[in-house]
Amino acid sequence: MQIWAFHGMRRSGNHVVLNWTGLTNSAFFLNDILQREQVPALLGDPFGTKAFWHWFPRFCARRQQRRMLRETGWKLMARGLCISLEDWPIDRPIFTPWPRRCRHILLLRDPLNMFASRIRMKGGMHLLYGGERADTYFQNSIALWKMHAREFLGETDRLHGHVGIYYDRWVVDPDYRAEIAASLCLVPDEGALNRVAAEGGGSSFEGMSPLGEDAIARRLSRHDQLEGEEKQLFARVTADGELMRLRERVLGRVYASVQCRQVA
């Protein structure tokens, strides 16, 4: 069975990109798996590594998954399995081993826009998920973005052979999207870019409101839309020199091919 494992931080455009790949409809799709373990893992608490083919049958035996399998799941599973993991520290094994036919996809969003969305979401994602340990949750989220950025740049190899997607270029550059689709051997649904993904309540800033003509501009300037105390928390992101240097290196890597194309 072909498996696609989608890794990304919350508020990175996970669902619109997943819907664009077509995998949410063409394969058996499991969204945001291991939710109970995810928050403790980000907070640094221990969790037990799982063998994928030991975990998966047990997961499918749950009531909700049994209903999904009865309705369309068995037919879709014959085409493959797509799973998404949100906010997982990739330096700590989740499944050991991963299935042999597993393609890892790593989604990275500009940290300024991503953290702006996390700060705005429902009064603050760090409060919603971190609770009394909100400060640790926020700091560990910053550390997780750095971890993902290093993997994206190829400095680490924890998601071997992964396909990297930089959301902020993906949303504006059809040639970039075509390259990604080709590397994944998928026929994408370009119409997904014009639909608000319902998962996660839609946008942190606008909920399920229609996108409008300036939707892309708004998505790429979330950090300019923060107010009051939100800006004070956001300043902790921009004050992190290591994060900002990594951001510049990622931008240089992502847009190098654009510059080469323009020169040619």
Q: What does the H/E/C string look like for the chain?
A: CCEEEEEECCCCCHHHHHHHHCHHHHCEEECCCCHHHHHHHHCCCCCCCECHHHHHHHHHCCHHHHHHHHHHHHHHHCCCEEEEEECCCCCCCCECCCCCCEEEEEEECCHHHHHHHHHHHHHCHHHHHHHHHHHHHHHHHHHHHHHHHHHHHCCCCCCCCCEEEEHHHHCCCHHHHHHHHHHHCCCCCHHHHHCCCCHHHCECCCECCCCCCCHHHHHCCHHHHCCHHHHHHHHHHHCCHHHHHHHHHHHHHHHHHHHHHHHC
Domain enclosing residue 138, as ranges: 3-263
pLDDT at 254: 95
Q: Is the pLDDT of residue 196 over 80?
A: no
Picking from 49-53, 194-198, 231-235, which range would have the lowest pLDDT averaged per residue? 194-198
How many domains, in total, are found in the chain? Answer: 1
Average pLDDT value for the chain: 86
**CATH code of the domain covering residue 148:** 3.40.50
- In 3D space, the residue among 137, 207, 126, 203 whose CA is nearest the CA of residue 171 turns out to be 203
| Pairwise CA distance, residues 184 & 135, whole Å | 37
In angstroms, the Cα distances linking 237 to 42, 104, 112, 119, 224 are: 17, 27, 8, 11, 14
With bands split at pLDDT 50, 70 and 90, how would you rate the model's confidence at 206?
Answer: low
pLDDT in tens, 53-81: 999 888 888 877 777 777 665 667 778 99
Name beta bridge partners: 201: none
pLDDT at 57: 87
User: Rounded mean pLDDT of 205-230?
Assistant: 63
Q: In the chain, what percentage of residues exceed pLDDT 70?
A: 84
The pTM of the whole model exceeds 0.95: no
Q: Is the pLDDT of residue 214 over 70?
A: no
